[in-house]
Amino acid sequence: MANKKHHFLSTTTVFNFLLVYGLSLTIIPFLMDTPQALLVGMYKIITSSSNLISDYVHIADAPAAFLNSGLLTLSSLFLLRKHKHHFCGLTVSVIMMLSGFSFFGKNIVNSAPILLGCLLYLKIHHSGRQDLLVMGLLSTCLSPIVSIIYTSPNHFFISNPLIALIAGSLIGYTILPIFDYLKVHTKELNLYNMGFSAGFIGVLGNFATRNILSIQVVPHAPSFDHHRVLLYFLLSLFTVPILVFLYTYKKNYFHQKGLLLDLKKIVRFSLYGYLGIAFTLVLRVPLSGILVGSILTFAGFSMYNFKFRYYFFPAAGVLLSALLFYRDAATTNNIVVMLFASTLSPMTRKYGMITGTFSGGLFSLITRNTHHLTAGINLYNCGFAGGITVLFMDFIRLLFLKHAGLNAYSQNFYARIIAFEKRVLLKFSLMFQSFSKAD
């Protein structure tokens, strides 16, 4: 009889983990503050404009920000459950991203019209695709436009809340086909591809709010007054999976291949989370809502199997651009861009570390300027910048291919670079193995 494969990260296990996470975020705030204070905080969150960077920890205090994140996490989970979603590592990535951005920009009210539009699109087109349902959740990155409209004074005979409902539903209905179209052109080299699709709608949204609805979008700044609470939250979240790993290790389950692969994902989730925290501690940048959201997204997408050696080189390119051009390495903005440089990990995997490093530097330059195009309406601005970076790099590659002599020289040079990179990576791998054996 064939051996039955065992998997630690089963559908039930993933759902239960995310459910406990969402319930913790929802219940713990009631231990930190009174229900009346939480209601006041939630009201402040719902009535804020929510564009980048609307730090809910600053606007409404930490307990209300945790509660908002918990409510959005639980509602997303039950929506996926209702549509019979298969919970897996990708689900962890998506829920962590949703939960993280609920600390700055997303709330239970401004996300609802966009989700309504997405569900309407899936129903009309009879689409049972699980990936589009997940992308529908991610499309709430444009939820600030809903808040910006309904929190502004009325200028038309139609009330702004009704305009916000219509605009959000229209965005949700149109963004899924736009995403389906654009992902072909980035060739899966941009990890946060929904941000790329949302960026184009964000540009149009910025134009519409300013020139049609006469709404001026005011930028916000993060708050650093709750560093300790946020640090304890992140440390607790990333320590639990490590404890699970150690418990399973003692049970000697490692002879089963499926369990071993799943446990590696769990450890990677925690280690990437610790790495994000380490960035803030080493550079002495206090935690804020946007940094918590960025670290949760960074750790969550480690379950999507982007490896550190692919992430390292785009991140190095971002750091070099910060040191050489902007002189702002030890700032919240730079750490956020460094964490989201993970969107270009596929670029390194396909074209090598030199291309990865160069694309990281280019990504940093683009990210710092595309924000003005969308005025903070697109929360996944780094995904937008990542898509532009990929298209620009692909354009350069096509220019080289047009000239036979230049193309031949480039291919020969590229082959030598790849061979050099493989030798370097092999040395690192052997060095790591020698350390592991020594331990």
The pLDDT tens digits for 45-92 are 999 888 877 888 888 888 999 999 999 999 999 999 988 888 887 888
For 94-135, list the strands marked E by DSSP: none
pLDDT on residue 328: 84
* Under 8 Å between Cβ of 391 and 185: yes
Here the tokens at position 173 are: 């209905």
Structure-token match 């935690």, residue found? 287
Q: Is 296 left (phi over 0), alpha (psi -120 to 50) or beta?
A: alpha
Residue 2 — pLDDT band, cuts 50, 70, 90? very low
pLDDT tens digits, one per residue of 137-151 = 999 999 999 988 888
- Per-residue pLDDT for 257 more than 70? no
CA distance 49 to 51: 6
pLDDT on residue 436: 47
- Per-residue pLDDT for 248 more than 80? no
Q: Is 50 left (phi over 0), alpha (psi -120 to 50) or beta?
A: left
* pLDDT, greater one: 350 or 435: 350
* Under 8 Å between Cβ of 303 and 345: no
Which of 40-44, 217-221, 240-244, 400-404 reaches the highest mean pLDDT?
Answer: 40-44
**Cβ neighbours, 10 Å, residue 116:** 16
- Per-residue pLDDT for 352 more than 70? yes
- Per-residue pLDDT for 202 more than 50? yes
pLDDT on residue 252: 59
pLDDT on residue 351: 81
CA distance 18 to 80: 12
What's phi and psi for 237, nearest 5 deg?
A: -60, -40
Q: Which sign does the torsion angle of CA 402, 408, 413, 416 carry?
A: positive
Domains of the chain: which residue ranges?
A: 1-104+226-305
Which of 165-179, 263-277, 344-358, 388-402 reaches the highest mean pLDDT?
Answer: 165-179
If you average pLDDT over residues 207-211, what whole number do you get?
A: 80
Does 366 sit behind a cis peptide bond, omega within 30 degrees of 0 on the bond before it?
no
Report the run of H or E that residue 420 belongs to, with start and end: helix 404-438
If you average pLDDT over residues 34-43, what whole number do you get?
A: 93
* pLDDT, greater one: 177 or 246: 177
Residue 405 — pLDDT band, cuts 50, 70, 90? confident
Number of helices (H), then strands (E), belonging to the chain: the values are 19, 0
If you average pLDDT over residues 151-179, what whole number do you get?
A: 88
Least confident of 263-272, 292-301, 307-316, 381-390: 263-272
* pLDDT, greater one: 308 or 361: 361
Query: What SS3 class is residue 333?
Result: helix
Q: At what angle do helices 227-250 and 257-282 cross, to 10 degrees?
A: 160
